[in-house]
Amino acid sequence: MSKIKVTYILSSIDKAIAFEWIVQNINNPKIDLSFILLNNKKSYLYKWLQKNNIEAYYINHSGKKTYPKSFLKVLKILRSIRPKVVHTHLFDANLIGLSCAKLLGVKKRIYTRHHSTYHHDNFPKAVKYDKWSNWLATDIVAISKNVKDVLINLENVNEHKITLIHHGFDLDKFKNPNLEEVKNLKEKYKINNSPTIGVVARYINLKGHKYIIEAFIQVLKKYPKAILILANATGPNKKEIRELLTKIPKENYREIAFEPNLFALYKLFDVYVHVPIDSKIEAFGQTYVEALAAGVPSVFTLSGVANEFVEDKKNALVVDYKNSEEIQNAVLSLLENNILSERLIKKGEEDIKSFNLNSFIKKLETLYI
Q: Cα angle at 251 between 247 and 257, to 5 degrees?
A: 85
Burial class of 191 by CB neighbour count within 10 A (0 to 12, 13 to 18, 19+)? middle
- What pLDDT is attached to residue 28? 79
Contact between 120 and 127 under an 8 Å Cβ cutoff? The reply is yes
Please check whether residues 143 and 225 belong to one and the same domain.
no
Please write the tens of the pLDDT for every residue from 332-364.
Answer: 999 999 999 999 999 999 999 999 999 999 999
- What pLDDT is attached to residue 161? 98
Please check whether residues 259 and 197 belong to one and the same domain.
yes
Please check whether residues 198 and 333 belong to one and the same domain.
yes
Closest CA to 289 of 351, 229, 343: 351
- pTM of the complete model: 0.94
- What pLDDT is attached to residue 7? 98
Please check whether residues 312 and 362 belong to one and the same domain.
no
Residue type, 231: A
Residue type, 171: L
Domain of residue 100, residue span: 4-169+356-368
Contact between 4 and 33 under an 8 Å Cβ cutoff? The reply is no
Please check whether residues 215 and 298 belong to one and the same domain.
yes
Number of domains in the chain: 2
Please write the tens of the pLDDT for every residue from 182-217.
Answer: 999 999 999 999 999 999 999 999 999 999 999 999
The torsion angles phi and psi of 133, rounded to 5 degrees, stand at: -65, -40
- What pLDDT is attached to residue 1? 59
Chain centroid to CA 319: 21
Please check whether residues 13 and 90 belong to one and the same domain.
yes
Residues 206-226: b if buried by 16+ CB within 10 A, e if exposed: bbbbbbbbbbbbebbeebeeb
The Cα–Cα gap between 183 and 264 comes to: 9
The torsion angles phi and psi of 63, rounded to 5 degrees, stand at: 85, -155
What percent of the chain clears pLDDT 90, i.e. is strictly above it?
96
The Cα–Cα gap between 49 and 52 comes to: 5
Please write the tens of the pLDDT for every residue from 243-264.
Answer: 999 999 999 999 999 999 999 9
Please check whether residues 291 and 150 belong to one and the same domain.
no
- What pLDDT is attached to residue 361? 96
Pairing of strands 139-142, 298-300: unpaired
Closest CA to 228 of 237, 247, 264, 240: 247
The Cα–Cα gap between 308 and 126 comes to: 28
Please check whether residues 345 and 362 belong to one and the same domain.
no
The Cα–Cα gap between 367 and 108 comes to: 9
Please check whether residues 165 and 195 belong to one and the same domain.
no
Q: Determine if residue 190 is left, alpha or beta; phi over 0 gives left, psi from -120 to 50 gives alpha, anything else beta.
A: left
Please check whether residues 22 and 118 belong to one and the same domain.
yes
Please check whether residues 290 and 341 belong to one and the same domain.
yes
Residue 143 has what DSSP assignment?
S
Please check whether residues 165 and 191 belong to one and the same domain.
no
CATH of the domain at 79: 3.40.50.2000
Pairing of strands 196-200, 162-164: unpaired
Q: Which DSSP helix (H) or strand (E) runs through 156?
A: none
